[in-house]
Chains A and B, each alone.
Chain A
């Protein structure tokens, strides 16, 4: 295994869902309190020297410039604080920035997290705001919406590879199974293939149960330079591979809409950095904003060949009891998708898995994990690889 880039020494995540009665900054405090409480050796004010926060849109709360605000709410002033925005990969990109900070030697211990308070607005207006991450005017003006964009990838995938609505439905069923084991998930109930197929069409072939929900939530990690990790915990999780790639913002200028190019490129680099291949991954959290996205992620991460994503889910390989469990947290689908919080929430789940704290959804003996976060119609892609440090 390659040399660690940085180490995660604690993590916290809020309950995801409709969290009325809280501002985004208060949600972030909820996640940070959990991370701080779990790390008694950490004196936040004394040790933490940087803050990175992923948040997609100021429109949800009409509040921009959230980095200083969250630094204030965490009692970390005057520590330098940064907000990153990359649509649904906002906190995935925040993690990348945290790595830059630590690798540069300018920072030793940072908090990196993400937050989104989405439920202040009506669903149609949230759809509009999320849609801002697609091309203006050539996509947004048609009322395409993100379900629509991923649905177009789905019809192309179905036409090219014969992927079926049932296979898409199975992704939702699997992730709801896992969500039922996660007490912080937005949805904690099991569903059937029929439930998915008969749910309301959002953007055919995607039905309501093929789509991740609109959620409120926050997540955060305490990340340190590898040499300092032992000061804070006996069981750190090291980040051993990390890469990011970009693609066109509009789907209309892509060579191939059936493959997630950003993930493919980032995964290849991250595997190389870590010095391992896909076969070594014990547990992964992938960006299942829509069921088709998880199928495409399998292919881009090299868990299977292009076009074989549907077969992987058919064979149960990615179920909790399968050879390569994916989205043990319930994924974006069942755990919820407060967009800015998602990237670091994925890392929180891998942290819990690799430190054997994942409770009923624990993958026994998990040593190497992976997260795959995308923004927009996969215009931003972040892939990171983690290993147990004890």
Chain B
């Protein structure tokens, strides 16, 4: 057995070296509270309890497994999928083996995918995990890349949320500096709008999203969404 060989590396910035050291595991604050106790809502008693604040964070170092080639492709700005040599089904995102029972877990082969597809469904996020809050509101969609049997997720940019529609054609693009992350690709509209949403519906959607924009600019200042 030969030893592993490092072929290419982008080192994490120095600032990640001490990740987690600051305050991890410490009890950094506490509260003593008098609250309600009891299993019957009509017979509650008062009881004291103690609350503590205790930070925890982790650094994952994991492989992309058998579909690593897909992510290497992203860095090269190539969209790859896999194809079953037996039935011909195409997977993008890739599967390392076929999903069909009759193909008996056949290993798939890498193929390059075209940079266009059809939007299958979408949502406009108004809330998200901490890392994405400053980007709100953003459009996420599932797109069927031309020739694929599956859908791939990504953001839609270059259009207002109220103009996004199921079944519209999209072009797939790469971010300027891909990092080997599924978010290295995004979608932009291609072709004329389908026009299925009425002006009234669009106005309502705009109204519904206004408070999100206000919340984000209040919390994060003028730092606007990436769109």
Contact = CB atoms under 8 A, between A and B. Distances in A.
Interface of A: 14-15, 20-22, 30-31, 33-34, 62, 122-125, 127-128, 131, 137-139, 141-145, 147-148, 151-156, 159, 183-184, 197-198, 200-207, 250-253, 257
Nearest to A142: B153
Among the interface residues B42, B64, B183, which one has the most CB atoms of the partner chain A within 10 A?
B183
B130 A125 contact: yes
Contact of A200 (B167, B196, B211): B211
Given A131-B129, A204-B125, 17 more contacts: A21-B37, A123-B127, A125-B130, A137-B181, A137-B182, A141-B181, A142-B183, A143-B135, A144-B125, A151-B124, A155-B121, A155-B122, A156-B120, A159-B121, A200-B211, A203-B125, A252-B153
B33 A20 contact: yes
Nearest to A27: B39
Given A138-B93, A257-B120, A148 B151 contact: no
A253 B42 contact: no
Given A124-B129, A152-B142, A139 B121 contact: no
A183 B41 contact: yes
B166 A155 contact: yes
Contacts of A155: 121-123, 166
Given A155-B122, A159-B121, A253 B150 contact: yes
Interface of B: 33, 35, 37, 39, 41-42, 47, 49, 51, 56, 64, 91, 93, 95, 99, 120-133, 135, 137, 140-142, 150-155, 161, 165-167, 181-183, 196, 205, 208-209, 211-212
Contact of B212 (A30, A124, A152, A200): A200
Contacts of A34: 39
Contacts of A204: 123-126, 137, 161, 205, 208-209
Contacts of A207: 126, 208
Nearest to B205: A204
Contact of B208 (A123, A201, A253): A201
Contact of A138 (B155, B182, B211): B182
Contacts, number: 147
A22 B47 CA distance: 11
Given A15-B39, A155-B121, A203-B125, A144 B205 contact: no
Nearest to B144: A252
Among the interface residues A21, A31, A145, which one has the most CB atoms of the partner chain B within 10 A?
A21
A21 B47 contact: yes
Contacts of B131: 143
Contacts of A154: 123
A327 B75 CA distance: 49
A147 B152 CA distance: 18
B128 A159 contact: no
A139 B56 CA distance: 24
Contacts of B41: 15, 183-184
B35 A143 contact: no
B151 A203 contact: no
Contact of A201 (B153, B196, B209): B209
Contacts of A153: 121
